[in-house]
Amino acid sequence: MKRTFIAISLSTEIKEKISKFEKDFQKIAGFKGRLISPEKIHLTLKFLGPTLEEKIPQIISELMVVESKTSPFQIEVKGVGAFPNLYHPNVLWVDIPIIPEQLERLQQFIEVKVETYGFAKDHRKFKPHLTISRIKTGKLLKPEIDFFNENKDLDFGVMTVTGFTFLESILRPEGAEYLSLGEFKFNSLNNE
């Protein structure tokens, strides 16, 4: 059994801006919690969870269909926030404030394709975001909340999404390790 998910990797420019934000959050606001390395931050399209190894080739085959019917598109990365909120946070994130139609279609197409193999469809509304930290205590200090509020509209830039990756997540005490099970690149000639 492998713990798997499907995600979009970030551009180098977006990773660099997230890295600067994380360093400032630690230096200016004094955040002492664990931040996710920008190299590991991604936009999750579908978390599959425990996956039987014999299903992996079938899932890859379905994801190839998705790949063949999707064209590159752009996303804006702007703003920061927390789930459920800054006063009782479980997750700190960087926002994708506008969901392009192509991103929503891609996520829904993947949902339908993997549902065939027993992965339940997520009935929550898709809220694309980039997780930068998980907060175990459920609270932030006032300087940390103030820093997030001051940066709530921070512009991280625009990136072109050219594909997605099927990943295995191996949980370790120092943080998750991600191994690629398949890379899927969009063809700019694909019809949407």
- All structural domains of the chain with their residue ranges: 2-185
Q: Tell me the sheet residues that pair with 9.
A: 42
Q: Catalytic positions, please?
A: 42, 129
What pLDDT score was predicted for residue 192?
A: 45
Collect all residues with Cβ–Cβ distance below 8 Å to 60 and sequence separation of at least 6. Answer: 166, 181, 182
pLDDT in tens, 95-124: 999 999 999 999 999 999 999 899 999 888
Note down pLDDT in tens along the chain; length 192 residues: 999 999 999 999 999 999 999 999 999 999 999 999 999 999 999 999 999 999 999 999 999 999 999 999 999 999 999 999 999 999 999 999 999 999 999 999 999 999 989 999 988 899 999 999 999 888 999 999 999 999 999 999 999 999 999 999 999 988 889 999 999 999 876 554
Task: Identify the CA nearest to 19 among candidates 143, 136, 151, 132.
Answer: 132
Distance CA 104, CA 101 (A): 5
> Is 123 within 8 Å of 111 (Cβ atoms)?
no
Bridge-based pairing state of the strands 155-161 and 163-170:
unpaired
Residue 1 vs residues 7, 9, 80, 130, 173: alpha-carbon distances, Å:
19, 24, 34, 26, 19
Q: Is domain 2-185 annotated with CATH 2.40.30.10?
A: no
